[in-house]
A and B are shown apart, each in its own frame.
Chain A
């Protein structure tokens, strides 16, 4: 066993606890229960250690369970559960735009050399910023932000695969290969945080969620779940903002 200084061990443990703690709270903001969010966190961690090969030969492609299958599965689940077909279209549109913008930002604008002109923010943080903002503008939805950011970043791996094939360069593509710490997962989480902060701030500014010209189903979903209402009637309006979209 390597022995790191105690300070570094504490730093590592706290970093990991903070990361997964914040992740659990963010997953909880989508259509997931507390337990559901915990199960997803567990699947992210356990899945990080499982790579499923899908193509061998000169260009080897593998999909990581924690870094790709779990977040994509969650994105698909959220899409299926989406209230309206409009939300479907918005989420998918936001995904395509996110994929395009992050490809252009990371591949054309930024070259990744330390000290270059456009390297204002690391690409790792550009992905969720783009995904979150695009999805929010398209559908003002946290779930949509998660879907756009995860699937958008995943498309970068697919582009890399195509690039290797096109240029006949032997190599590996590990889709979601960094597991729970993959850019795919981080992008999804930060995008939800961003949508949450923008959304809550906006709703607070306008004094509650908008109810004019909206689908009755959506309005019904904007209400707090019954279990919460029973427990605490007074907090209904507060919860409506948080649990709704």
Chain B
């Protein structure tokens, strides 16, 4: 009997692994995925937390075109049917067809994201400050990232050009009256574990209670014109905002990103390249006011990136109500609430569903779950539990 059930569990595990493998291959391979999607079936089990892309090699890139064939965007990532992009003009498009021979993704207009700057936000700082205690914290997770035309290479471990760009951001904020903490901690080598290392930096910076936490990066798109722009007549780069989807503060951070974009769209249209809702967490679970920025790409010059980021910093200081040294009164920003509320709701829903499922598994019935819940208080009533039991043995 026991052997039979063991065999059953083993078969179940093998089947699960097999199904997982097939799903992974299917969702990982654009050709397979898109062929199936054309037949009307789109499965995203592995990807319930958001769409994801892979980078293309050999300087190939996908062109996003609208239904009339006009190019609207480009990317060096793999494209999947159902992917969505929010463009600079806040138009949101959904990919409905992918031609992997021509590297073209045909998109349908979904609608326009509502992120217009509201007049009254100008009177009250979006990041509320008081008593000259406003602070922004800056760090660089990938401390090797560099700009080829200026630094000669795209990666200098421990001493990348990105450090200068981060410094420019911090210096400009400081000059505009914002106390800025910048961390020079090195998190090399350039890999995903760098976020495990920079997490310690982020927590160190958060101990000083900053209003916002900025992780400075540069992109890896080969085309320098993709990020190129003019800032006050000087050549500079655009800045892309990245919000990680896999954390409980995602809504609050997205709200924050949208507010930054809406401010720049009003004050200096074209500086913000858009908002990329990426897979991953990027340590944004640590604060509801954290953002990752991509300042240009590795084929832009560092000078251009510094010009772009300085302009970005000037805008951030205005958002904090500290522009020109003028201190605005400390009032809560009205629009910060919806993101926070939605994050809070998700957190509580996850707690109830997760806790409920856990109780159900451990007790085996709803009745048992309720009994266990009602006995929760008793567990704290002073018994030493297993320790005491073992000693008596």
Contacts and interface: CB of A to CB of B under 8 A. Distances in A.
Contacts of B134: 2
Contacts of A225: 385-386, 388-390
A204 B344 CA distance: 33
B347 A15 contact: yes
Given A10-B344, A122-B244, A106 B191 contact: yes
Contact of A2 (B77, B197, B211, B248): B211
Secondary structure of the A contact surface, majority rule: helix
Interface stretch (B88-96, B222-230, B263-271, B332-340): B332-340
B278 A114 contact: yes
Nearest to A60: B185
Contacts of B305: none
A113 B220 contact: yes
B383 A227 contact: yes
Give the size category of B's interface with A.
35 or more
Contact of A33 (B197, B209, B386): B386
A67 B9 CA distance: 37
A177 B200 contact: yes
B69 to A, nearest CB: 25
B6 A11 contact: no
B364 A204 contact: yes
Contacts of B141: 112
B52 to A, nearest CB: 6
Contacts of A2: 128-130, 133-135, 209-211
B6 to A, nearest CB: 6
Q: Which of B133, B186, B209, B351: most chain A Cβ within 10 A?
A: B186
Nearest to B286: A181
Contacts of B217: 113-114
A116 B288 CA distance: 24
Given A201-B361, A206-B9, A112 B192 contact: yes
Given A8-B340, A107-B192, A205 B8 contact: yes
B312 interface: no
Nearest to A226: B389
A183 B330 contact: no
B82 interface: no
Interface string B326-356: 0000101110110011011001100100000
A232 B267 CA distance: 68
Nearest to A224: B389
A160 B197 contact: yes
Contacts of A5: 128, 332-334, 336-337, 340
Interface string B280-308: 11110110110010100000000000000
A200 interface: yes
Given A114-B292, A115-B278, A124 B5 contact: no
Given A112-B141, A178-B199, A7 B336 contact: yes
Interface string B222-263: 000000000000000000001010111100100000000000
A173 to B, nearest CB: 8
B196 interface: yes
B393 interface: yes
A153 interface: yes
Interface of B: 2, 5-6, 8-9, 12, 28, 46-47, 52-55, 75, 77-78, 128-131, 133-135, 141-142, 157-159, 185-186, 188-197, 199-204, 207, 209-211, 217, 220, 242, 244, 246-249, 252, 276, 278-283, 285-286, 288-289, 292, 294, 330, 332-334, 336-337, 340-341, 343-344, 347-348, 351, 358, 361-364, 368, 379-380, 383-390, 392-393
